[in-house]
């Protein structure tokens, strides 16, 4: 009786049948077309970068497989970082969902902070803290008479440590979701039947949340494989090379080895796509807990005095991931040469002056800001329409739209940027105007890679809008467009605002896709920070990173204010 039947969309039949092909064609052009170029280039064993290739073969793939050192490095860092990240996530999720510690709610909200900080900023900060010799911690160690190189962040362990700190939040969110979706009465009934705490944990709790943990592990591992920022910032100085850094190096080398980069990028993409599919499958097939889709709050364990170690763990994580890095960046950014030795400190505002005045840096900042505003505005509206089409409209092949829209999340940003670069370079030859090297191509790229993020954000909101709210408007006599205007869109507004915010944040700090697509006159802040780090000074890049983070935080606070006033909720 209550079989899910989608409500009626626009009644003009023709319109209904044109919607999907239209969307598919547009998104397909943005998404599939660059990947097509990647595939062709990866098979190009002739002159690099020519299209169509003159010579075709699998040489690029053979080269990749024979470079065992890179593969080994990548796998080593990814495994190490995954183990640590899942460890963080599991511990934090258990503490924050299952124990009654003081300040739990605030801590839970604070766990979002690492997400806003980004791995790039984290890597820079940890570079400042623990670089051999010059790192603040090492300076401090020398001061105290220890070996001046006791911390070396420019190593596999260092890279894994930084990646784990920042991916830890993702693991935390995924695992605590699994823990929260378990009905506490499942455990209670085992207790009532006579099982002890340990037995309950082993026979009931663990099997129920295991799919969540496994799925989080797979997902996090895939993210680690395709992570770029930390490996780049911390790996280049010590020549520790992973697959993503090779992709970057082989394109910036002379002559550029585009084919090699494409082959590696494609392999990464395949691994990532398989992993995401697998993670979803595990979650769907294996979980009994999420069937109802309800969120439960299990009765938290009262710990008494034993709560304090738990509280300490949470704050320690936040300190390592957020407060310490921020403090280090702050301290560095105001100095001429970063040091912790009070006598040697030379404070200056020059770094900030450079950020705002030095032509290239200032324009990168402006460009990023403008791009963020533009992409967020266009993107959130587009995502609003797409989400409604995917989850509500009664049109043929809706699920195909979903797959195509979500496709970019399986493509590592770096790889996608690469594909887009060639795709638009080639198309640029037939177009009457140039796209390459302008902000437009960056905007297009951001829009494409950020669509999945927006759709995921809005999907929850749209699915929560009871279908009968829309149906009722129709029965009351409203046309489709009137219903959309008066009922659906107002109800989607908080979701659209959230999507706007997330897309804005992600645009401002975009790195992977921007690296390949920015031109000399369309610099953006993410790659500019990396540039400053590698070629100028850590003091300047610290200032830039802080300004970028500041912009993101101001945007978050501003939007939270606005939406709160708008929805009238005392959130």
Partner 1 sequence: MSETDIRIDIRNLVVDYGDVRAVDDVSLSVGRGELVTLLGPSGCGKTTTLRSVAGLEDPTGGSIALNGTLVYSAPERRNTPAEKRGVSMVFQSYAIWPHMTVFDNVAYGLRVRRMSANDIRSNVMRVLDLVQMRNFADRPASRLSGGQQQRVAVARAIAFSPEVLLFDEPLSNLDAKLRVSMRVELRELQKGLGITALYVTHDQEEALAISDRVIVMNAGRIEQIGTPEDIYRHPRTLFVADFVGNANVIQGQARGAPVGGEVNFVTVGGPVLRAAAGHAQAKGDAAALQAAYVDIFAPGRTDVPNATPGTIHRCMFHGDFIQYVVDWPCGQLLVRRPPTNRFAEGSAVTVSFAPEHCVVL
Q: Which residues bind partner 1 (CB under 8 A)?
A: 1-3, 5, 7-8, 11, 466, 468-469, 471-479, 482, 486-487, 490-491, 568
Taking the least distance from each CB to partner 1, the nearer of 174 and 492 is 492
Closest approach, Cβ 490 to partner 1, in A, equals: 5
In degrees rounded to 5, what are phi and psi of residue 288? -95, -25
Between 187 and 470, CB nearer to partner 1: 470
Q: How remote is the C-alpha of 141 from its chain's centroid?
A: 34
Q: Give 1 or 193: the residue with its C-beta nearer to partner 1.
A: 1
**Given the structure tokens 């944040």, which residue do they identify?**
505
State the Cα angle at 424 between 402 and 369, rounded to 5°. 75
Enter the tokens of residue 33: 């077309």
Least Å from the CB of residue 476 to partner 1: 4
Q: Which residues contact 449 (CB under 8 A, 6 or more apart)?
A: 408, 411, 413, 416, 510, 513
Q: How far is CA 22 from the centre of its chain?
A: 28
On whether the CB atoms of residues 547 and 133 are closer than 8 A, the answer is: no
State the minimum distance, in angstroms, from the CB of residue 462 to partner 1: 15
Question: Measured from the CB atom, is 312 or 479 closer to partner 1?
Answer: 479
Whose Cβ is closer to partner 1: residue 344's or residue 466's? 466
For the CA atoms of 103, 108, 112, 117, what is the dihedral angle to 10 degrees?
40
Beta carbons of 454 and 441 less than 8 angstroms apart: no
What is the spatial distance between Cα 151 and Cα 181, in angstroms, rounded to a whole number?
40
Nearer Cβ to partner 1, position 270 or 476? Answer: 476
Minimum CB separation of residue 491 from partner 1 in Å reads 6
Q: Minimum distance from CB of 504 to partner 1 (Å)?
A: 24
Give the shortest CB-473-to-partner 1 separation in angstroms.
Answer: 7
Smallest distance from partner 1 to CB 487, Å: 6
| Angle in degrees, CA 167, 300, 314, rounded to 5 | 35
**Residue closer to partner 1, measured from CB, 5 or 571:** 5
Q: Residue 66 CB: number of other CB atoms within 10 A?
A: 9
Dist. CA 206–CA 224, nearest whole Å? 25
Q: 74 CB contacts (<8 Å, ≥6 apart)?
A: 225, 242, 243, 244
336 vs 493, beta carbon nearer partner 1: 493
Q: Enumerate residues 6+ apart whose C-beta is below 8 A from 528.
A: 360, 361, 364, 365, 544
**From the CB of 16, what's the least distance to partner 1, in Å?**
12
Q: Measured from the CB atom, is 191 or 485 closer to partner 1? A: 485
If you search the block for the tokens 């177009």, which residue do you land on? 431
* Distance (Å) of CA 351 to CA 107, 136, 531: 33, 18, 15
C-beta of 472: minimal distance to partner 1 in Å? 4
Min dist. Cβ of residue 493 to partner 1 (A):
8
Residue 296 to residues 97, 290, 535, Cα–Cα distance (Å): 10, 10, 51
Neighbours of 78 (CB within 10 A): 24
Instruction: Report the alpha-carbon distance of residue 490 to residue 482 in Å, rounded.
Output: 12
What is the nearest approach in angstroms of partner 1 to the Cβ of residue 465? 10
What span, in angstroms and rounded, lies between the C-alpha atoms of 392 and 220? 31
Q: Least separation, in Å, of the C-beta of 6 and partner 1?
A: 10
Q: Of 425 and 478, which has the nearer Cβ to partner 1?
A: 478
Helix intervals (H) in 111-155: 113-117, 119-130, 136-143
Separation of alpha carbons 128 and 459, rounded Å = 40
523 φψ region: left (φ > 0), alpha (ψ -120 to 50), beta (else): beta
d(CA 571, CA 568): 9
Cβ of residue 11: shortest distance to partner 1, in angstroms? Answer: 5
| Of 408 and 495, CB closest to partner 1 | 495
Print the SS3 string covering 350-411: HHHHHHHHCHHHHHHHHHHHHHHHHHHHHHHHHHHHHHHHHHCCCCCCHHHHHHHHHHHHHC
CB of 7 to partner 1, least distance (A): 7
Comparing CB distances to partner 1, the nearer of 311 and 397 is: 397
User: For partner 1, which is the closer residue by CB, 5 or 193?
Assistant: 5
Nearer residue to partner 1 within complex by CB, 8 or 142: 8
């Amino acid at each position: 009786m209550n079989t899910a039947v989608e409500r009626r969309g626009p009644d003009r039949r023709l319109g209904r049948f044109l919607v999907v092909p239209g969307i598919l064609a547009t998104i397909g052009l943005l998404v599939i077309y660059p990947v097509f170029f990647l595939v062709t280039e990866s098979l190009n064993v002739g002159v690099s970068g020519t299209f169509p290739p003159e010579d075709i073969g699998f040489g690029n793939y053979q080269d990749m497989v024979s470079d065992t050192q890179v593969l080994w490095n990548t796998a080593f860092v990814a495994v190490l970082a995954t183990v640590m990240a899942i460890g963080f996530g599991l511990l934090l999720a258990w503490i924050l969902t299952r124990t009654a510690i003081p300040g739990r709610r605030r801590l839970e909200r604070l766990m979002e902070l690492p997400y806003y900080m980004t791995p790039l900023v984290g890597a820079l900060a940890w570079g400042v803290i623990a670089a051999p010799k010059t790192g603040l911690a090492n300076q401090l160690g020398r001061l105290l008479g220890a070996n001046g190189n006791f911390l070396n962040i420019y190593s596999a362990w260092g890279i894994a440590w930084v990646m784990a700190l920042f991916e830890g939040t993702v693991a935390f969110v995924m695992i605590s979701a699994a823990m929260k979706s378990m009905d506490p009465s499942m455990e209670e009934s085992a207790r009532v039947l006579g099982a002890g705490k340990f037995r309950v944990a082993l026979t009931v709790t663990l099997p129920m949340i295991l799919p969540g943990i496994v799925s989080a592990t797979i997902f996090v591992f895939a993210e680690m494989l395709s992570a770029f920022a930390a490996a780049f910032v911390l790996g280049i100085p010590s020549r520790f090379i992973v697959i993503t850094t090779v992709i970057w190096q082989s394109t910036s080398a002379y002559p550029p080895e585009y084919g090699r980069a494409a082959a590696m990028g494609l392999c990464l993409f395949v691994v990532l796509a398989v992993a995401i599919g697998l993670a979803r499958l595990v979650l769907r097939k294996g979980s009994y807990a999420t069937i109802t889709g309800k969120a439960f709050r299990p009765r938290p364990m009262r710990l008494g005095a034993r709560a304090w170690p738990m509280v300490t763990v949470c704050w320690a994580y936040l300190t390592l991931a957020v407060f310490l890095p921020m403090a280090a960046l702050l301290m560095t950014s105001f100095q001429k040469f970063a040091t912790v030795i009070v006598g040697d400190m030379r404070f200056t505002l020059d770094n900030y002056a450079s950020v705002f005045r030095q032509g290239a840096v200032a324009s990168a900042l402006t460009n990023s800001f403008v791009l963020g505003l533009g992409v967020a505005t266009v993107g959130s509206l587009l995502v609003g329409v797409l989400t409604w089409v995917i989850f509500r409209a009664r049109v043929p092949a809706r699920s195909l739209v979903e797959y195509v829209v979500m496709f970019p999340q399986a493509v590592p940003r770096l790889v996608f940027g690469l594909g887009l670069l060639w795709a638009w370079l080639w198309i640029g030859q037939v177009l009457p105007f140039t796209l390459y090297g302008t902000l437009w191509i960056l905007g297009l790229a951001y829009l494409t890679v950020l669509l999945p993020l927006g759709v995921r954000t809005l999907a929850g909101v749209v699915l929560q809008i009871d279908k009968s709210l829309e149906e009722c408007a129709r029965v009351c006599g409203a046309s489709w467009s009137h219903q959309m205007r008066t009922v659906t869109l107002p109800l989607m507004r908080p979701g659209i605002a959230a999507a706007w915010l997330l897309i804005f944040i992600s645009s401002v700090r975009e790195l992977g896709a921007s690296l390949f697509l920015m031109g000399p006159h369309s610099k953006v802040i993410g790659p500019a920070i990396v540039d400053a780090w590698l070629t100028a000074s850590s003091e300047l890049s610290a200032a830039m990173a802080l300004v970028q983070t500041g912009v993101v935080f101001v945007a978050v606070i501003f939007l939270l204010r606005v939406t709160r006033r708008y929805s009238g909720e005392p959130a």
